[in-house]
């Protein structure tokens, strides 16, 4: 039975024309940024589009590589003292330097710099007017040389959302990052001019988005093609991907995020790998790294061999093809003059507490040529630092949530099975 007050409210509302009860725009529940896939470098890579400066009443948009391991954000810019005297060269992004006297400089150098024995020792450099800048080391995640870059005070802008559509407001994130010369981006896909750090380092990007009441949670949903746009959210949600009417959070299972000494990256514990009900013997509770840079899941040789042996057994009915490096197990996708859509059994990662991350065909089989698809797992050799590294191809069209507040990792498995995808955020501005 309706409560009397509800009844009165309903009667009153029914008398008012709809326009009149329109509410003011609801406040945002998240920040968001579009994600893209790039295939014009040696390996597929994924970028986030953010806004780096506001000039002439317009935002400058830049694509940054997503790196969930990097301790610090860095991009193509130059540091300049006296920012406001109009001395920034054309088509260049200028930011203010952190001085070598400031605590951020010591802090980043001591703890939050890229660690590598091959990096040269950092030096203080004195620029004009006697100011001293702060050089820090960074490792290029694509081709790995170490370089020295200058720590700066940066501002990035992200748009706001109610989880369904963009809202009019944007958010300015103040952050320390580093300026690197354009030459460091030569091995990057075209139009990628930076690396946005999403690690747990206090100098990574999520820290600069910390804005109560938003929770310290970010999520990644990688698109599977270069022509579609995926989505990154920061905040507790809800998150909607059309035509689904329910919050994507309803599709998630959770497992603890593990810390690993000497790394700001994210790890989960994998207890076993199951293919068609048969469990593959792996050392229990194997520390598994999540990587947005490794293109494919990489397994230590002993684990790789067992996975491939089992996978070959359950795919016996498929026509084999010569393998194409770096993959070891490939199938023909062309038979009797027609293209076959392969369907293979799931590869299930059984995590701590028995939760299962199911890697289904879209994330296990990579179509390499018209005629050949390969199991998108790589043999990482005997001496891998972590026995399992889950790579970015396995993230495509999966919704992944990194809850930094509760140290939890949420995963949806393939959204395609829920009749949606990472390309289904509605980028049309909401009416509020």
Ligand X SMILES: *[C@@H]1O[C@H](CO)[C@@H](O)[C@H](O)[C@H]1NC(C)=O
Chain positions contacting ligand X, by CB under 6 A? 33-34, 49-51, 61, 100-101, 122-124, 132, 159, 165-166, 242, 258, 269, 285, 287, 335-336, 352, 426, 428, 430-431
276 or 355, CB closer to ligand X?
355
Let me know: does 197 contact 136? Beta carbons within 8 Å: no
Tokens representing 148 are: 């020295």
Residue 288, H or E segment? strand 286-290
Smallest distance, ligand X to C-beta of residue 326, A: 27
Smallest distance, ligand X to C-beta of residue 51, A: 6
Smallest distance, ligand X to C-beta of residue 88, A: 22
Looking up tokens 């009915």, which residue turns up? 317
87 or 124, CB closer to ligand X?
124
Let me know: does 204 contact 197? Beta carbons within 8 Å: yes
101 or 210, CB closer to ligand X?
101
267 or 296, CB closer to ligand X?
267
Smallest distance, ligand X to C-beta of residue 42, A: 26
Smallest distance, ligand X to C-beta of residue 322, A: 17
12 or 335, CB closer to ligand X?
335
33 or 192, CB closer to ligand X?
33
Map 34-82 to HEC letters: EEEEECCCCCCEEEEEEEEEEECCEEEEEEEEEECCCCCCEEECEECCC
- From the list 82, 111, 123, the residue with the least C-alpha distance to 202 is 111
> b/e for 60-87, b at 16 or more Cβ within 10 A?
eebbbbbbbbbbbbbbbbbbbeeeeeee
- From the list 161, 158, 160, 228, the residue with the least C-alpha distance to 415 is 228
Smallest distance, ligand X to C-beta of residue 380, A: 19
- d(CA 293, CA 70) in angstroms, rounded, equals 10
- From the list 255, 267, 226, 417, the residue with the least C-alpha distance to 351 is 255
Smallest distance, ligand X to C-beta of residue 371, A: 13
145 or 169, CB closer to ligand X?
169
33 or 184, CB closer to ligand X?
33
- d(CA 330, CA 374) in angstroms, rounded, equals 4
Strands (E), 143-224: 146-161, 166-180, 192-197, 217-221
- From the list 353, 355, 162, the residue with the least C-alpha distance to 251 is 355
Let me know: does 357 contact 288? Beta carbons within 8 Å: no
Smallest distance, ligand X to C-beta of residue 109, A: 8
Smallest distance, ligand X to C-beta of residue 255, A: 10
Let me know: does 11 contact 18? Beta carbons within 8 Å: no
284 or 381, CB closer to ligand X?
284
What's the longest Cα–Cα distance across the chain?
Answer: 78
Backbone φ, ψ for residue 408 (5° rounding): -125, 150
- d(CA 203, CA 201) in angstroms, rounded, equals 5
130 or 212, CB closer to ligand X?
130
Smallest distance, ligand X to C-beta of residue 62, A: 9
């Amino acid at each position: 039975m309706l409560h009397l007050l509800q009844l009165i409210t309903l009667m009153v509302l029914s008398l008012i024309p709809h326009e009149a009860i329109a509410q003011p725009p609801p406040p945002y529940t998240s920040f968001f940024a579009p994600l893209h896939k790039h295939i014009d470098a040696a390996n597929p890579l994924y970028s986030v589009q953010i806004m780096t400066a506001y000039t002439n009443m317009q935002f400058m948009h830049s694509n940054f590589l997503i790196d969930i391991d990097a301790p610090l954000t860095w991009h193509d810019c130059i540091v300049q003292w006296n920012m406001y005297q109009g001395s920034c060269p054309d088509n260049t992004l200028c930011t203010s330097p952190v001085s070598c006297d400031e605590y951020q400089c010591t802090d980043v150098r001591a703890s939050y710099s890229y660690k590598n024995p091959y990096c040269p020792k950092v030096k203080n450099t004195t620029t004009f007017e006697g100011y001293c800048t702060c050089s820090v080391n960074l490792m290029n995640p694509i081709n790995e040389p170490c370089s020295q870059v200058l720590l700066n005070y940066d501002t990035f802008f992200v748009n706001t959302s109610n989880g369904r559509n963009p809202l009019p407001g944007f958010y300015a994130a103040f952050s320390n990052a580093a300026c690197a010369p354009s030459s460091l981006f030569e091995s990057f896909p075209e139009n990628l001019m930076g690396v946005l750090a999403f690690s747990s380092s206090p100098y990574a990007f999520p820290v600069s988005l910390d804005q109560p009441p938003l929770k310290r949670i970010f999520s990644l949903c990688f698109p599977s093609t270069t022509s579609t746009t995926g989505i990154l959210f920061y905040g507790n949600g809800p998150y909607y991907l059309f035509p689904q009417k329910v919050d994507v959070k309803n599709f998630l299972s959770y497992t603890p995020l593990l810390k690993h000494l000497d790394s700001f990256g994210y790890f989960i514990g994998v207890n076993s790998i199951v293919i068609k009900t048969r469990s593959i013997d792996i050392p229990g509770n194997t520390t598994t790294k999540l990587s947005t840079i490794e293109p494919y899941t990489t397994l230590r040789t002993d684990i790789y061999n067992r996975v491939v042996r089992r996978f070959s057994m359950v795919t016996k009915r498929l026509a084999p093809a010569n393998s194409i490096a770096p993959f070891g197990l490939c199938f023909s996708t062309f038979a009797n003059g027609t293209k076959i859509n392969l369907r293979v059994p799931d590869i299930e990662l059984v995590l701590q507490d028995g939760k299962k991350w199911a890697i289904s065909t879209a994330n296990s089989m990579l179509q390499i040529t018209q005629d050949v698809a390969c199991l998108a797992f790589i043999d990482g050799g005997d001496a891998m630092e972590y026995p399992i590294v889950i790579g970015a191809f396995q993230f495509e069209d999966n919704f992944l949530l990194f809850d930094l507040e509760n140290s939890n990792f949420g995963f949806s498995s393939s959204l395609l099975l829920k009749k949606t995808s990472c390309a289904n955020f509605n980028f049309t501005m909401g009416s509020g």
